[in-house]
């Protein structure tokens, strides 16, 4: 991944553009996921936990809206 410096561009804006491109490509997230081997069963359990948390958060938001 590389970003070419534009004429008159500050280092801060160059770094910001680089960070945006890395985020958009998903490279960093992929690296974090592949850092350790995770079995299929573990992936399934993680997804289930994530879904439960998401559903709980949505339910809390609905409850807060209905109270107003």
Query: For 5, which DSSP code?
Result: P
The band of 29, judged by pLDDT with boundaries at 50, 70 and 90, is confident
pLDDT at 50: 96
Higher per-residue pLDDT: 48 or 31: 48
Residues 1 and 25: beta-carbon distance below 8 Å: yes
Radius of gyration of the CA atoms of the chain, in A: 20
pTM passes above 0.85: no
Between CA 4 and CA 25, with CA 8 as vertex, the angle to 5 degrees is: 30
Between CA 46 and CA 52, with CA 44 as vertex, the angle to 5 degrees is: 50
pLDDT in tens, 32-43: 888 899 899 999
């Amino acid at each position: 991944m590389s970003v070419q410096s534009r004429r008159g561009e500050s280092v801060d804006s160059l770094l910001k553009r680089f960070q945006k491109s890395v985020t958009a490509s998903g490279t960093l997230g992929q690296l974090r996921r592949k850092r350790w081997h995770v079995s299929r069963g573990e992936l399934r359990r993680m997804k289930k936990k994530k879904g439960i948390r998401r559903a709980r958060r949505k339910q809390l938001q609905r409850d807060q809206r209905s109270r107003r």
